[in-house]
Chain A
Amino acid sequence: MMTRADAAEIAASPEAVAALLAASRYLADDSLATVIFLAIRLGKPLLLEGAPGVGKTEAAKAIAELLGRELVRLQCYEGIDAGHALYEWNYQRQLLAIRHAGEHEIDIYDDRFLIARPLLQVLRAPEQRVLLVDEIDRSDHEFEALLLEFLSDFQISIPERGTIRAETQPIVILTSNRTRELAEALRRRCVYHWIGYPDAQREAEIIMLRSGHVAEATARAVAIAVQEIRARPLAKPPGIAEAVEWANAATILEKGGSPWPEAFRRAIGVLIKDEEDLAAIAPELGRIVEEALA
């Protein structure tokens, strides 16, 4: 319980959380800071949903950093199962050990034969680790059910060893791109937040924070132009990471001798990565950049 108090001490108020996040180079808006505060204090998992590239994973990294804990990431995919998420036995080693032991007795379910996967890793040291279950929407329903069980009791049963239980409740962050609807039971159990794209001003701040050498005017122009581009019906609207890269690339080109609007246009490949989208945006790009620079 000690550490829970520590976490609660660190997250004294939503404002304190926001300040700490900013210190770990993550600019959160008020509601994101609030839900992070709530998740830590209520001791519930935090479920972050949002379009790709709005900084869900980054948020998790920042949370781990502000708590001074190690981030353990479990990347989900279709077909992920208990062997990838909970634990597995090192069978080769067990076989060797049996041979080696010869006549002696040997416990082949010893710790050294146990490969801890992310969920077990976090369970063993909840005070030092934060669990990130990334892109849970990619896994299938069976895995969601397994996770649900883990999230409600924070324990894992290993038939050969018995039940391993977390001494304190670990901090868990789940992210989803919302490619499919998650089970209601999972949403219910979590503190929920939908991360949207930031407004132009915040995005400009993020761009400046993330890339050291971009001038303020450039960051501002990029933020405005990206907002404008996102408003169009693209197959893949650019995320924040792409905007940062675009600002970076344009700055480099500009230093290499391209004049401003031209530099943006030439660097468009790092912002929009779909041929059709490029074709759709190309005729208007000049005007958008021009307006953003004005």
Chain B
Amino acid sequence: MGDLNDPFSPFTGRRCPEGADEGQRHTGQKSAPPLTCLPASSPRQRGEESLPRAAAPFLGFARLLRDHAFPIAPEQVAGFMQAATLLGPRSMNDIREAALATLAPSPDRRAEFETHFRFFFYGDAKPSMEGDNDDETRVKDDRGAREKENQIARQEKGGELSSALEQLSSRDFRRDPDGLGLFRRRLASALPARRSFRTTRTRSRGTLDLRRSLSEIVSADGDIPSPLLRRRQSVSRKLLLLIDVSGSMKLHTADYLKLAHTAVQGADRAEIFTFGTRLTRITSALRIRDRNQALARAAALVDDWDGGTRMGPTLLAFLSVPRFSAFARGACVVILSDGLERGSHAELEIAMRRLSARAFRLSLATPLAGDPRFQPGTAALRAILPVLDDLVDGSSLESLTDFILTLARPAPAAAAIWKRVS
């Protein structure tokens, strides 16, 4: 029933006929085979006339969701119709359950999905996108889905935002003027390593690789040649950059974003977030190879350029999203911020303590440390100093890249160093 010769087919999204075929035996007439064959690109044209009229709303709903950047494959639409048929459907709730189960909106977008559902099937008010202005720190993780809309909205506002855009895309003509090319090439091998569960072949220092040895023995007709060895691989640790984009860091954010772009390009696994009054994940934007384009994208994603700082709450917001905080586990976490927290620093302290408990190494790079007279004197800095592994100079790209490249080397804890200085 399946095809064996195309192992990559699950990723292409074009495998609909086989996938749909599985459930077909049990379903009614509603899901005629042709509809499952529609390619994602042209869902409107082909095959639609051969469908019973009752099927039209299902297709229409899927189309509506696709228009709002929900990734929905043709086979999911087929599954949706089969599920609805299986359930009766006895009520609108059955259709809703079927939609939730088969179209699988991610839990973050569940509310949005429900609004669309109500709009489409009940004729409720048109869903508005910018509805929720709550007290909590907003976490934005667009995953590249709605970038275009965002960019348009941003440009209307003008002012600070567009200036940030310009600032980022200016002067970048000379080849590698800031040493970032070298940084990019060296980064992957310079990050600290950990032992992986997987093994690699080796000629010395390893344990016996029975699998390969046996096949060797069999092919050598029972002779035992020298045994083959294997060793556990080492993989580089994850790199997490948290960039402060508040007003007090204005001079440095452009450089930091360049660094972040290089890090995403160079490291195996890197994640970049910006924080000011909100938390924004910009990794997906920075994956674009071209730096100017990537930075413009990232700049458009961030809503809180040059605003205030709520470092504690935003870092707590970061930790409260399970998949973000899971990324921090065992990672090298570098926070690029001046550590000037508005108001009380109690939350910042909690957040830093939790981060340091998760991270392999927690470092704070502050541009203030570029000044030779710098002392971690503010109450916030003094409070977090004991949990920091490093407190370093973040005033120039050069010092930062040098620091990141030496993350693998052991260093005394930040508190010890700064106590000696003071």
Contacts and interface: CB of A to CB of B under 8 A. Distances in A.
A274 to B, nearest CB: 10
Nearest to B79: A42
Interface string B118-153: 000000000000000000000000010000000000
A38 B319 contact: no
B197 A78 contact: yes
Interface string A141-184: 00001001100111100000001000001000000011111011
Contact of A95 (B75, B198, B217): B217
B7 interface: yes
A293 interface: no
List the 9 shortest-distance A-B pairs measured between CB atoms, nearest first: A79-B197, A192-B104, A179-B326, A91-B210, A153-B2, A42-B23, A148-B10, A35-B101, A34-B97
Contact of B218 (A38, A108, A178): A108
Given A89-B214, A179-B323, A192 B101 contact: yes
18 contacts: A34-B98, A38-B86, A38-B101, A43-B22, A43-B26, A79-B196, A81-B197, A91-B214, A137-B323, A145-B11, A152-B9, A180-B327, A188-B73, A188-B104, A190-B104, A192-B101, A192-B104, A235-B354
B217 to A, nearest CB: 7
B33 interface: no
Interface string B322-353: 11001100000000000000000000001001
Interface in A23-60: 30-31, 34-35, 37-38, 41-44, 47, 49, 51
B222 interface: yes
A215 interface: no
Contacts of A288: none
Nearest to B75: A188
A-side interface size class: 35 or more
A294 B322 CA distance: 34
Given A47-B104, A183-B11, 18 more contacts: A34-B101, A41-B26, A42-B22, A49-B107, A149-B10, A155-B4, A169-B22, A177-B322, A178-B322, A178-B323, A179-B322, A180-B327, A188-B75, A189-B19, A193-B100, A235-B319, A235-B354, A276-B353
A91 B211 contact: yes
B87 interface: yes
Given A35-B97, A43-B23, A155-B2, A184 B71 contact: yes
Contacts of A78: 196-197
Nearest to A52: B322
Given A91-B210, A177-B322, A178-B322, A31 B100 contact: yes
Nearest to B9: A152
Interface in B247-279: none
B79 A44 contact: yes
A194 B23 CA distance: 22
A178 B319 CA distance: 14
Contacts of A34: 87, 94, 97-98, 101
B179 interface: no
Contacts of B298: none
A184 B26 CA distance: 26
A55 to B, nearest CB: 16
Given A92-B210, A98-B222, A188-B73, A276 B350 contact: yes
Nearest to B325: A179
Interface string A5-35: 0001000001000000000000000110011
Interface in B41-94: 71, 73, 75-76, 79, 82-83, 86-87, 94
B316 interface: yes
A184 B100 CA distance: 15
Contacts of B322: 51, 177-179
A35 B99 CA distance: 10
